[in-house]
């Protein structure tokens, strides 16, 4: 039986017009965790909000996936920015559950504009916690969306996301009536700015396909799998925990080779970009000693001892870090994964909002 934890809840999604935000909104509207009373899409881009609003209005004829009454009242769009305390505080007044998907996530961009990453990825979460604390808002749950780059961070994006995790974990002590937890995962297939759309564009133009280094590996999961992690955390997670998917990994040279196929397209090695890692890590060797298994997920217990249960009751399955260098997929397995999500064909990632939400 699916847990209806969001039945009649008011749900706020910051960064709700991003790649993840769109699929998260779609899944929330499906009612799989219960039918929310209201869903607030909070972001600073009015053009994306307008496009998303129009796309949903065109779905007024009931579909198998979304059945609703008075849709405009269920889905609400709000212009605002997590950097601005007053705008996020106003949105939080109408929320029971918060998904913080607002982020600056492009690694090179964050390297060139590090303070902008600080404002969104650190000050944004701090504004959420401060608003709940100072205004004593009855928010029940806040989920921070993080990344594998926050683990043993070497780039600004990862560093700021790592601080976001710590802000939300410690917030359980500042706001004891609210449950704060995090999810952390790797590269999302075909999300905006990810490598698959880049490779498709380069292949479409006849190459060359650029690879930063031949050894580079990355965790891969779909947008819906990313939402699965978020929903698992909401349904099962305790205060201060961080949910981790057991995602497969692939070498970037294999990904390029599978997408190119038998076409006469050259690949070239360009060198690692500013802030990039060769391998990503979802659980560090320091964290593995407080990482447990829960269903199909790893769960990192809170770093703060005040938030942890008796450690003697847990079994810790990891003896070392969980790295993308481990369990790399074969080319045939990688091709099967891409075909499963229809990502082999040119232009497959240039989808409209409606296609993304199918």
pLDDT in tens, 63-113: 444 444 434 568 999 999 999 999 999 999 999 999 999 999 989 999 999
Question: Which pLDDT value is given to residue 350?
Answer: 42
Question: Which pLDDT value is given to residue 178?
Answer: 98
Distances (CA, A) of 343 to 6, 229, 254, 256, 262: 32, 22, 14, 12, 16
Question: Which pLDDT value is given to residue 255?
Answer: 92
Mean pLDDT in residue range 230-259: 95
> What span, in angstroms and rounded, lies between the C-alpha atoms of 85 and 131?
7
Q: Mind listing the pLDDT tens digit for each residue in 32-63? A: 999 999 999 999 999 999 988 888 877 554 44
Question: Which pLDDT value is given to residue 352?
Answer: 38
| DSSP 8-state secondary structure symbol assigned to residue 84 | S
Phi/psi at 168 (5° precision): -70, -35
Residue 208: cis peptide before it, omega within 30 degrees of 0 = yes
Rg (CA), the chain: 20
Q: How sure is the predictor about 240, in pLDDT bands with cuts at 50, 70 and 90?
A: very high
Question: Which pLDDT value is given to residue 59?
Answer: 56
Q: Where are the domains of the chain?
A: 10-356
Closest CA to 158 of 186, 188, 198, 196: 186
> What span, in angstroms and rounded, lies between the C-alpha atoms of 232 and 10?
18
Burial (Cβ within 10 Å: 0-12, 13-18, ≥19) of residue 168: buried
Supply the pTM of this predicted model: 0.90
Q: How sure is the predictor about 246, in pLDDT bands with cuts at 50, 70 and 90?
A: very high
pLDDT surpassing 60 at residue 134: yes
Contact 56, 73 (CB under 8 A): no
Q: Which fold has domain 10-356?
A: Rossmann fold (3.40.50)
> What span, in angstroms and rounded, lies between the C-alpha atoms of 215 and 212?
9
Taking each helix axis as running N to C, give the angle between helix 156-174 and helix 124-134, from 0 to 180 degrees, rounded to the nearest 10: 10
User: What is the DSSP secondary-structure string of 89-150?
Assistant: HHHHTT-SEEEE------HHHHHHSHHHHHIIIIIHHHHHHHHHHHTT----EEEEEEEGGG
Catalytic residue set: 149
Q: Which residues contact 168 (CB under 8 A, 6 or more apart)?
A: 100, 125, 129, 142, 144, 180, 181, 182
């Amino acid at each position: 039986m699916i847990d209806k934890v969001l039945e009649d809840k008011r749900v706020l999604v910051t960064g709700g017009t991003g790649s993840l935000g769109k699929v998260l909104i779609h899944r929330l509207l499906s009612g799989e965790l219960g039918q929310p009373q209201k869903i607030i899409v909070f972001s600073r881009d009015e053009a994306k909000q307008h496009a998303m609003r129009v796309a949903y209005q065109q779905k007024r004829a009931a579909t198998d996936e979304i059945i609703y009454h008075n849709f405009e009242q269920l889905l609400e769009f709000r212009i605002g920015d997590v950097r601005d305390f007053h705008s996020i505080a106003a949105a939080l007044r109408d929320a029971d559950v918060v998904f913080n998907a607002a982020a600056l996530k492009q690694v090179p961009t964050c390297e060139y504009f590090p303070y902008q990453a600080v404002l969104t990825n650190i000050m944004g979460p701090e504004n959420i916690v401060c608003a709940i604390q100072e205004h004593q808002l009855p928010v029940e749950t806040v989920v921070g969306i993080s990344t594998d780059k926050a683990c043993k961070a070497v780039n600004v994006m990862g560093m700021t996301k790592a601080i976001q995790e710590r802000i939300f974990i410690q917030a359980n002590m500042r706001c004891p009536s609210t449950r704060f937890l995090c999810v952390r995962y790797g590269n999302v297939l075909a999300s905006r700015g990810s490598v698959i759309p880049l490779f498709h564009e380069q292949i479409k133009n006849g190459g060359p396909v650029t690879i930063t280094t031949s050894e580079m590996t990355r965790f891969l999961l779909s947008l819906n799998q990313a939402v699965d992690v978020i929903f698992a955390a909401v349904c099962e997670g305790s205060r201060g925990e961080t949910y981790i998917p057991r995602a497969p990994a692939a070498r970037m040279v294999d990904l390029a080779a599978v997408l190119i196929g038998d076409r006469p397209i050259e690949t070239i090695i360009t060198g690692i970009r500013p802030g990039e890692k060769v391998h990503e890590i979802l659980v560090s060797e320091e964290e593995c000693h407080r990482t447990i298994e829960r269903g199909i997920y790893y769960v990192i217990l809170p770093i703060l001892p005040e938030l942890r249960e008796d450690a003697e009751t847990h079994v810790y399955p990891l003896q070392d870090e969980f790295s993308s260098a481990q369990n790399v997929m074969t080319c045939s397995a990688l091709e099967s994964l891409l075909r499963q999500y229809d990502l082999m064909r040119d232009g497959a990632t240039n989808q409209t909002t409606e296609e993304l939400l199918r």
